[in-house]
Structure 1
Amino acid sequence: MMTLRSALGRIGAQEDLNFLLTNRLPRRLATRAMGWISRIEQPLVRDASIGLWRLFCDVDLADAKEERFASLHAAFVRELRPGARPVAQDPSVLVSPSDALLGAHGTVAAGQVLQVKGSPYRLADLLQDEALGRAHEGCAYATLRLTAGMYHRFHAPADLAVESVRHLWGDTWNVNPIALKRVEALFCRNERAVIRVRLGDGAAMTLVPVAAILVAGLKLSFLREGGDLRATGGRTLPCTARLSKGAEMGWFEHGSTIVVLAPPGYTLDPTLCEGARLRMGEPLLRAPATARGKDLGDVR
């Protein structure tokens, strides 16, 4: 029993230290500093920073389009070589928009979704839109966490048309499991974007990429203002971009999260469970034939 208590005590101490180092430090200052350092192209600084990143993170650059990078930032936001991520072509399947670990998932109930087990938050607070939150009632959702070493770009989960984007200013909390257990409604606190899209069958869905500590940047490649979302002042930006399944939508400049809010009738792929490691293009959500074409309406 003492051995078990000691082990639990060490785990608790490690979690406390992790939380302290990644969340109790001046987050905005650390984020600005990391953003500056990561862009330095001086070879010694570049090689040292990439080396430290690879030492402390599970990084695999074998499928990157480039073999060498001008800076740590360039390695963070790397593109992949063609064919590195096969995309499931079944039209009834929504694929994972990114490489990720599957986090909390389920069905929106009473306007709430889970951050982690036992820790719900209001969907309307995440979206900052009460009507849109209500429109997703009863729909499936999935939380995808990108670790610091993963491929950081995200892609269209289906053939779709982007209807609008709204940038929401916020904090830079870490989104690792320790912070998710300790910080209430964390995703509702961080910088994020609400991306409304419509699938080819007319069904509407929402993607919410959430930025995090350190570089914290969020860029959208399909939107003219996507390189400087912070300058949009939280305005809802109409959009007419059409993207094919697997086409790039944007990228994070550090590890973070995407909350996928599915159209009515979609369910999590039965092969998946919490903690599953996904690669962009693999099946995430499936629609039964009877549910296809059902719509969330014209909620903006």
Structure 2
Amino acid sequence: MKLLTLQRLVQHEDLNFLLTNRVPRIALTRFMGWFSQIRSPLLCRLSIAVWRLFTDLDLSEAKQQRFTSLHDCFTRELKDGARPIDADPAVLASPCDAIVGACGPVAGTTVFQAKGFPYQLRELFGPSQDTSPFHDGQYVTLRLTSAMYHRFHAPADAEVQHVTYLTGDTWNVNPIALQRVERLFCRNERAVLRMTLAEGGHPLALVPVAAILVASLRLHFVNLLLHLRYRGPNEISCRAACRKGDELGWFQHGSTIIVFAPPGFTLADGVAPGTRIRMGQALMRLPAGPAADPA
């Protein structure tokens, strides 16, 4: 009874926004980065017990069942076969476990983070990026809660060719904040991963967006740890080939990945705001024909 009362109290919109945003966000995020790295099995068990008071944390699929730090728990691997990958080459698989947020067509260069709250592609991608391949394209916002599996994977056979890192704030990215803070994704710390698909040569972009208590973003393919104290370089070119389902990196706590595809892509059946999706399930379908020349 007390647990239900506590959860309902935290879910109250005004109180939730106050507790997760009207606080020293960056200082708390840096503290969590330090605290999560403390290697103490007892402290970790106590922290997980508190964590479970507020979330539906389920560790039954974790490959490792005992953790020496919260960091190990946040970034846990799953048992082999826990996330089957859709093998259809005409399907983009979800890169992560998530709750689907705003999704659908990009209206020219305008995207929506929530009803009535638009932002522009150029604001999200940053001034160095050419966003034209995604004008009038498709997008899906994928929100990872703190209790979810935090690693993200390649949605298709592809080559990652460029990463842009954009420093910023650490607003909460839950629906309550998205309905109150304009252009929130464009304000937060984020990275832009530009890819080319092996199937049809289509461009693709993944935009991992950090949030409060998300202390770092690990990118395996460039051996890079992005965090609030990172000082560059902000533009990283690479030629990293990946197969569908390959692990690309992880968030330390939970946040958002926005997937952008060019015109012609369509949302997979069942992908709609509010639905839960698992890494490897169908997210979008590729166009039937070859990719259009961006020029």
Q: Same fold (TM over 0.5)?
A: yes
- Alpha-carbon distance change, 103 to 67 in structure 1, aligned in 2, over 3 angstroms: same
Maintained 8 Å contact 1:204/1:296:
no
Deviation of 1:192 after TM superposition, in Å, equals 0.5
Q: 2:38 aligns with which of 37, 40, 65?
A: 40
After TM superposition, list the pairs within 5 Å mapping 1:198-213 onto structure 2: 198-200=196-198, 201-213=200-212
Is 1:266 aligned with 2:265? Answer: yes
Q: Distance in 1 between matches of 2:269 and 2:202?
A: 21
In structure 2, the partner of 1:123 is: 121
**Matched residues, percent identical?**
55
Could you give the per-residue CA deviations for residues 68-120 of structure 1, whole angstroms, max 9, x where no partner exists?
11111110000111111000010000010000000001111131100011111
Amino acid at match of 2:158: L
Q: Give the RMSD, CA atoms, in angstroms.
A: 1.9
Maintained 8 Å contact 2:216/2:225:
no
5+ residue gaps, structure 1, are: 1-9
Tell me which stretches of 4 or more aligned residues in structure 1 moved more than 4 Å: none
Amino acid at match of 2:45: D
- Alpha-carbon distance change, 157 to 277 in structure 1, aligned in 2, over 3 angstroms: same
Is 1:253 aligned with 2:242? Answer: no
Deviation of 1:218 after TM superposition, in Å, equals 0.9
Question: Which moves more between the two structures, 91-100 or 124-133?
Answer: 124-133
In structure 2, the partner of 1:219 is: 218
Is 1:285 aligned with 2:260? Answer: no
- Alpha-carbon distance change, 212 to 295 in structure 1, aligned in 2, over 3 angstroms: farther
Maintained 8 Å contact 1:93/1:283:
yes
SS of the residue corresponding to residue 140 of structure 2 reads: strand
Could you give the per-residue CA deviations for residues 200-233 of structure 1, whole angstroms, max 9, x where no partner exists?
0211111100011013311101113x12466452
Maintained 8 Å contact 2:133/2:203:
no
Maintained 8 Å contact 2:205/2:261:
yes
In structure 2, the partner of 1:49 is: 47
Deviation of 1:283 after TM superposition, in Å, equals 0.1
Maintained 8 Å contact 1:145/1:258:
yes
After TM superposition, list the pairs within 5 Å mapping 1:132-281 onto structure 2: 132-200=130-198, 201-224=200-223, 226-228=224-226, 231=230, 233=232, 235-281=234-280
Maintained 8 Å contact 2:217/2:249:
yes
Maintained 8 Å contact 2:165/2:235:
yes
Question: Which moves more between the two structures, 227-236 or 205-214?
Answer: 227-236
SS of the residue corresponding to residue 272 of structure 2 reads: coil
Q: Distance in 2 between matches of 1:232 and 1:127?
A: 18
- Alpha-carbon distance change, 35 to 130 in structure 1, aligned in 2, over 3 angstroms: closer
Amino acid at match of 1:241: A
Amino acid at match of 2:283: L
Amino acid at match of 1:264: P
Q: Distance in 1 between matches of 2:245 and 2:293?
A: 22
- Alpha-carbon distance change, 192 to 234 in structure 1, aligned in 2, over 3 angstroms: farther
Paired residue total = 286
Amino acid at match of 1:278: I
Amino acid at match of 1:82: D
Q: Distance in 1 between matches of 2:86 and 2:239?
A: 25
Q: Distance in 1 between matches of 2:60 and 2:68?
A: 17
